[in-house]
A and B are shown apart, each in its own frame.
Chain A
Amino acid sequence: MSGVDTASLIVFALVAVLVSVLAWRHTRSTTVDFFLAGRRTGMITNAGAICGDYLSAASFLGVAGAVYASGLDGVWYATGFAAGFVPVLLFVAAPLRRLGTVSLPDFLAVRFGSAQVRVAAVVAVELVILSYLVPQAVGSGVTWELLVGRGIAGLSPYATGIVVSTLAVGGIVVIGGMRGTTWNQALQFGFLLAVAVWLSALLWAGGFSYPAAVEQASAAPLRMVVDDRLVAVSSQLSGAPARFGDPGARYSAIGQVALLVTLVLGTAGLPHVMNRYFAAATGRAARTSTVWVLALAGGFYALAVMLGTAARVLVAQRADEPWLAALTVDGVLRVPEHALLVLGRLLAGTPGLAVVAAAAFAAMVSTIGGLLLAAAASFGHDVVARIWRPAGGPREAVVAGRAAVLVISVVAAGVALWVDPERLLASFPSVIAAMVTWAFALAGSALTPAVLLGIWWREATARGAVAGIWTGAAVAIGALVLGLVIGPDPSGGLSAVLLAPALIAAPLSAATIVVVSRRDTGPPVSDRLWTRMHGTAADRQAERMARITLRGRR
């Protein structure tokens, strides 16, 4: 590791710790303050923090890696990730915030008036968080391996990256709570976007032409590295050799639809992203933040796709350089997730690699922070304060949330250490993006149907919601396990659906909620609750107070 690499990591760590300590000084030991930053997060800050939460290792390293490995079919990851916020804006953002709850399980429990719904939702949320944390930790290991290249305390470089990132972020969240995590996430997203723009500017300054690069990358059939040798990629649509700019390198038609549905539905069920909406000042602010997210995330993903394309061309052109030869086989990267890191070094030397690696860590750290905070909220508030010890008070909930952060950090690091990304690469060319898709599948199948029907269908009952959450979770997990056992099939049909199962699990969950609710004689949602969720009285009140405060300052 060079001096520049060390300096970039030290600066990055110092900024994160400084922000957390500053936030800690402003954070009181109350539920709303620790978990929701006092519900006073500004619209643009919240949009930046949502992007920081959402744009994880899968987005930064994974999208560029998926484009590098699969061309146009890899681009669908970026499209699906960005598209997920459209349903959030249309159906979820404002009512979710207006109910005034603390976490996703809390929202569902209050809407359905049921402790059983809370328990089912907490289980689903913790499963989603764990399955989302593991690929982030894997990404940390992969980045540390390439940037630092050596381990500490007898650990391998890969294991060191996992242990350092998860434990460090766990500490940051414990200290800073939602306020520190929000500030860190907004800053880290700004850094991430700046790095993507900087790399793009370097490319353009060097005479890079995006259309010409697509043409060049599509000139020869796509190949990937499996067991240290190059293997031609066949089109899932035609069986002919797949090309970079054409559809079919990774997905059949049904596979593409399954991926899209999973990513689009999954976003509205991601606990760490939805928790951001509870921190918005009003329902309208939550909705407007989502518009900002669509702009910021769309811009970021468009750049990430271009950078993945550039990596495909430039790596092949400069594969003779000794440092790059060790990472490639005949001009093709062994690990597609290295695409952006390698591009940084190709464009700006070792400092370029250090800056991109720091951005990759920023992406992972901000997402891990959001996930741990969501775990803390669902455990501290939903399990301890609402179920286990309701008389314990908010201070006890915050302490329990902090303890949950440390426990989940250790469990996620343990699972990530057990996962061997090299072994998975043969089946999943873009392994981080694929693993994140599994978390989206679980969220979209177990939680999104209950959230959507809870918001928009008054007749949805608690029994229906419980049955729907369990059905969605069971079908999604069963499909994912079956898909991993049978592996990718040549036709790309069955396994593609099994590995992105929201296409089947979410409709089954929704149908279960509808059927059970129809047969249920329980009471529908009250006028009081429906009015709070869909009315704007609290928004108007908050806006009026903000105007009065502004006038007072003048």
Chain B
Amino acid sequence: MARREVGYGGPDGPDGAGGPEEFDGPSEVVAVARTQRRIALGYGLVFVVAIGSVPVLSLSLPWWSTARLLGGMSPSFVAVAGGLYVFFLALGVAAARLARSVEDRMLGIVPGGDDPVPDR
């Protein structure tokens, strides 16, 4: 469980957002930033492989461009005209959920409290 330590919170923003009640410790944030970077790079790699595979398959696998899945639509056309949008959304939902859950687990937890953002 993360400990609350002397740190920096919302009131430092140039617009004065936030209040003095919530703080994050620098060492906790460094750990969260590292974890988030690892997650983002992992999802980013999946994104690059998926999107890059379409032109690679067009060059390397004739079936990808010449076969017909739906009427005159090749697998390549189906992927580019519809399939990739669904994939982007699924990837985005999964990444956003994981990022939020990491933040909830690693930041804003007070010793002995179950609620990561307790009400007072």
Contacts and interface: CB of A to CB of B under 8 A. Distances in A.
Interface stretch (A294-302, A324-332, A347-355, A503-511): A294-302
A186 interface: no
Interface string A300-315: 0110011000000000
Nearest to B47: A86
A247 interface: yes
Chain A contact residues: helix, strand, loop or mixed: helix
Interface stretch (A48-56, A222-230, A479-487, A542-550): A542-550
A530 B30 contact: yes
Interface residues of A, number: 74
Interface string B45-79: 00100011001001100000110101111101100
Contacts of A264: 51
A424 B37 CA distance: 43
Contact of B100 (A246, A287, A456): A287
Interface string B9-35: 110111101110111111011101100
A528 B74 CA distance: 53
A217 interface: yes
Interface in B65-115: 65-66, 68, 70-74, 76-77, 80-82, 84-86, 88-89, 91-93, 95-96, 99-100, 103, 107-108
Contact of A535 (B9, B52, B74, B96): B9
A538 B80 contact: no
B51 A83 contact: yes
Contacts of B99: 94, 287
Nearest to A248: B58
Contact of A32 (B15, B66, B68): B15
A110 B14 contact: yes
B96 A253 contact: no
A541 B22 contact: yes
A245 B77 contact: yes
Nearest to B82: A302
B107 A85 contact: no
B81 A302 contact: yes
A72 B80 contact: yes
Interface in A416-462: 456
A234 interface: no
A247 B32 contact: no
Interface stretch (A16-24, A127-135, A204-212, A492-500): A204-212
B85 A302 contact: yes
Contact of A83 (B15, B19, B22, B84): B84
A287 B33 CA distance: 15
Contact of A86 (B13, B23, B30, B92): B92
A393 B18 CA distance: 22
A284 interface: yes
A540 B117 contact: yes
Given A32-B15, A247-B65, A298 B89 contact: yes
Interface of B: 7-10, 12-15, 17-19, 21-26, 28-30, 32-33, 36-37, 40, 43-44, 47, 51-52, 55, 58-59, 65-66, 68, 70-74, 76-77, 80-82, 84-86, 88-89, 91-93, 95-96, 99-100, 103, 107-108, 117, 119
Interface of A: 32, 39, 72, 75-76, 78-79, 82-83, 85-87, 89-91, 94, 99-102, 106, 110, 209-218, 237, 245-247, 253, 256-257, 260, 264, 284, 287-288, 290-291, 294-295, 298-299, 301-302, 305-306, 456, 527-528, 530-532, 534-545, 547-548
26 contacts: A75-B81, A83-B84, A87-B44, A89-B95, A90-B47, A94-B99, A100-B13, A102-B14, A209-B71, A247-B76, A253-B59, A260-B55, A291-B93, A528-B8, A531-B7, A531-B8, A531-B24, A535-B7, A535-B8, A537-B8, A537-B10, A539-B10, A541-B9, A541-B21, A542-B10, A544-B119
